[in-house]
Copies of this chain bind each other. A is one copy, B any other.
Amino acid sequence: MPAGFVWGAVRAGIKASGNPDVAIAVAPGGAIATAMYTSNLVVAAPVIVGRRHLLSTGGRFGAVLANAGNANCATGTPGIEGCVATCVAAAQTFGCIFDEVVPSSTGIIGVPFPAEKVVAAMPALKSAVGDTAAHAEEFARAIMTTDTRVKMAHAVIPIAAGPESPISGQVRIWGCAKGAGMIHPRLGTPVGTPPAAPHATMLVYLFTDIAADVPDLNAALAAAVAPSFNSISIDGDTSTNDTVLLVASGASGVRLTREVTPAFDSALADVCLSLAHQIIADAEGVTHVVILDIQGAATPADADLVARTIANSPLCKTAWSSGDPNWGRLLAAAGRSGAIFQTENVRMWIAAEPVFEYGVRAPEFNEAAAHAAMMQPEYTITIDLGEGTATTRFLTCDLTAEYVRINADYST
C-alpha cells in the first residue's frame, strides 16, 4: 500500500441493507490532491463543497470522507450545510482543517442527506482506520451500491536515482472505484484549471505516496482519465456525483520530476484503465463487455461521436446481449451520431470477422462465426470510417432484462 495513508469504514445506517456505508481515507501527515468532477449541470452537494475545498486550500488534503446510500443531490442548502458539517466533524476527529476534507456521496438523488448519521459515526471511524490492504479494501467495499464486486487496482513503480531525482526507491499507487449504473462519465478538467468540453455515479479514489504539486497531479490525472473513465459507458446516464480524486502523500520520498513522470503516468494510466474495465465488467445486468475500436475518423470528435452513440444505442446493446450479429444497427447508430463519413468507405469487423465493406455486407461475412465471437464475455467491434486518421477506443457493455429489473426495482 502507498505510505502516508490510513483507511477505514463503518456502518452508519444510510444503506437500507445495513452494510458499511461511511468510509474515510486520511493522510495523517498531510497530502496534495486534485480531482475531476462530473460535467453534469446538476451537481451534488459534495461536488460543490469538494471543489470549493480543493480550491480554497490549493490542494492541501487531510482526508476524503465518502458515503453510499444517499447522493446528497437536489437537497438544496440543507444538503450543502449537512455536507460541510460532516467535513467539520471529520476534521475534528482526524486532526485537520475542515476544508482539507474532501466529501463524496453516492446513492439516491433528492432524499434529504442524513448528515447526523455521518457525524455520529466519527468515533467508530476513528477506531476503524489502519494502513493495511485490508483496511483499504474496507474503504472500497463501503462505497459500493449496486456493484457486485469490489474494484481495486495498484501499481508499484521502481525509481532509480537520477540527476533530478536523487532518491531511489519505490512509488506505490492504489486505487478503488465504485459504479455499475448511471455510468457515462464525462469528467471535466481538474479543479482549478480552465474548463474544456463538458461530461454515473462513478467514484474513484487514487492514492499514491509520490511527492507532487497540484499542476503535476492535474496533468497526470487528466491524461490518465481521458482514455479510461472518460471512455466508458454503461447506460449513457452521466451522474451528478462523478468524482475522480488523486491524492499524493509524498511519503515515498520520491518526487514527481520530469525523469519520473513517464513511469508514473504510465502506472497511473494502467491503474485507471484497470478500474474503468472493472466498472464495465460489473455493469448492472452485464453479460458481455464490448470494446469499440473506431478508426479512420475525420476528427477525434467524430470518432468519439460514433463510439458514444453506438455505446448508448439500445438496439446495439440488446443485440449484443444475445450475440446477434445484426451489424446494421451499428451502422444505423453511426449514421445518426453526427459524425461525417461516406457509407461506401466504411468497413466493420466483429472480433476478426468482416461484416461490412464497400457499402454492402462483406462477402466473407460468416454469421455463425460472428455469433460465436459475440458469445465470448468480451470482444472488440472495429469500425473504420475511411475518412481520416483519428481513432478512439471505448469500453461498453450489453443491455439486458436484468439491467431493467435492477433499475425498475422500486426500492432503489
Interface residues of A (CB under 8 A from B): 39-43, 71, 73-79, 108-112, 181-182, 184, 186, 198, 235-240, 312-315, 318-319, 321-324, 326-329, 331-341, 343-344, 356, 358-361, 371, 399-401, 403-405, 407-410, 412
Docked-complex contact B42 and A403, CB < 8 angstroms: no
Known: A343-B42, A401-B405. A238 touches B336 (CB 8 A): yes
Inside 8 A of A336's CB, which chain B residues have their CB?
39-42, 184, 186, 237-238
A401 to B407, CA, bound (A): 11
A43 to B401, CA, bound (A): 30
18 A-B residue pairings within 8 Å (CB atoms): A39-B336, A41-B336, A42-B334, A42-B335, A42-B336, A79-B360, A108-B328, A110-B328, A110-B360, A110-B361, A182-B332, A198-B338, A236-B314, A237-B329, A237-B333, A238-B336, A314-B399, A322-B410
> Which residue of B76, B322, B404, B409 is within 8 Å of A400 (Cβ)?
B404
A43 to B400, CA, bound (A): 28
> What 9 A-B pairs are tightest by C-beta distance, nearest first?
A109-B328, A42-B335, A76-B360, A76-B359, A401-B401, A318-B407, A110-B328, A322-B408, A238-B336
Q: Which of A40, A181, A239 has the most CB of B within 10 A?
A: A40
Q: Tell me the minimal C-beta distance from A301 to chain B in angstroms.
A: 15
Q: Tell me the minimal C-beta distance from A289 to chain B in angstroms.
A: 16
How many copies altogether?
Answer: 2
Inside 8 A of A77's CB, which chain B residues have their CB?
359
A321 to B408, CA, bound (A): 6
Inside 8 A of A326's CB, which chain B residues have their CB?
108-110, 412
Q: Tell me the minimal C-beta distance from A162 to chain B in angstroms.
A: 45
Q: Tell me the minimal C-beta distance from A41 to chain B in angstroms.
A: 4
Docked-complex contact B76 and A344, CB < 8 angstroms: yes
A268 to B282, CA, bound (A): 49
> Which residue of B74, B236, B401 is within 8 Å of A313 (Cβ)?
B236
Q: Tell me the minimal C-beta distance from A82 to chain B in angstroms.
A: 12
Docked-complex contact A75 and B360, CB < 8 angstroms: yes
> Which residue of B237, B318, B332, B358 is within 8 Å of A240 (Cβ)?
B332
Known: A315-B235, A407-B319. A335 touches B110 (CB 8 A): no
Inside 8 A of A43's CB, which chain B residues have their CB?
335
